[in-house]
Amino acid sequence: MARHLLKLEGLDEAHLTSLLDRAAGFIPAARGEAEAPASLRGRLVAQLFFEDSTRTRLSFEAATARLGGRSLSLSGVGSSASKGETFLDTALNVDALGVDAMVVRSSISGGADLLARNVRCAVINAGDGRREHPTQGLLDCLTIREAFGKISGVKVAIVGDIANSRVARSAIHSLTTLGASVRLVGPPTLLPRSFAQIAARHDLVSITHDLDSILPELDVIMMLRVQLERAAGGGIAADYREHYGLTHRRALRLPAHCIVMHPGPVNRGVEVDDDVADDGRRSQILRQVTHGVAVRMAVLEESVGRTDRVR
């Protein structure tokens, strides 16, 4: 049984599939339409968010509550981090409170690994700098699997700020392990040459700077936010939408079955036009959020759940 969830890189197909199967079973409970087992009864989960979050934080809290566990929540602002306490010291102190797991988001690439090497409790990565966001990768896979009944052979484009995106990295690892083909699309500033080396090593990954040329061949188009907080090229270029935005006109060139995804928060009118984001036929953006709760239930249960799965 895996205790920590630090990254999707290196997780094999069987493990990813078992997490997705477990999460799929939790979708009704995630929506409040079915009872979940009380498999976290008596468990304390620290939610440590040193970077801003809406969906990830609330869905980890919702997942903990749905399974009968309790959350202790801490953010950078309002904690002793603002008095200069280090990231590791904070985590060691939270561990000493006796928590069973800590969910951690920080701007430090490798931050969750650092904690996992030093604390007693289970560590779940909720986004570490530019590196990985494993539960986001899982919820993206669950959304694609639900839409197409499979992941293998599905053609996915990931569009935008690839260089700074932990969402893209987790999606690339999980989707390719499950057999999807992934096209990385973005301007050269946000999709640097180092990604060409990744693509050269992996026959399911390719890169292009020309979004328009690939639209008609896609099953999934996953749009990313430009990560201004990670100094993404100094800002959003004035012509970003013109070349890389999923505009109304571009959406018309997608196949009818192609779904639109975005991890949120969406910059409406920059990476996605309003009517595309709100198109109930194509847009999976809110479905992804629901899947986030189910996936986090699966991850927490696997990590610290009671094996007797009390009801």
Interacting residues with ligand NCD (CB under 6 A): 55-56, 127, 133, 136, 166-167, 225, 263-264
- The CB density around residue 33, as the number of other CB atoms within 10 Å, is 8
| In the complex, least distance from residue 7 CB atom to ligand NCD, rounded to whole angstroms | 14
- Which residue is it, tokens 């931050």? 111
Which of 99, 180, 184, 107 lies closest to 144 in space, CA to CA? 180
Instruction: Please name the helix (run of DSSP H) or strand (run of DSSP E) that holds residue 158, with its range, or none.
Output: strand 155-159
Q: How far is the CB of 308 from ligand NCD (least distance, A)?
A: 32
Nearest distance from C-beta of residue 225 to ligand NCD, angstroms: 3
Choose between 41 and 130: whose C-beta lies nearer to ligand NCD: 130
**Residue placing its CB nearer to ligand NCD in the complex, 241 or 306:** 241
**C-beta of 49: minimal distance to ligand NCD in Å?**
10
Q: Measured from the CB atom, is 68 or 244 closer to ligand NCD?
A: 244
Following DSSP, what letter does each residue of 210-274 receive, concatenated? -STTTGGG-SEEEE----GGGT-TTS--TTHHHHH-B-HHHHTTS-TT-EEE--S---BTTTB-H
The nearer residue to ligand NCD, 128 or 219, going by C-beta atoms, is: 128
Q: Give dist(CA 127, CA 264) in Å, integer.
A: 13
Which CB atom, from 38 or from 226, has the smaller least distance to ligand NCD? 226
**Shortest distance (Å) from residue 126 CB to ligand NCD:** 8
Q: How far apart are CA 156 and CA 182, in angstroms?
A: 5
The residue sitting closest to ligand NCD, measured at its beta carbon, is 225
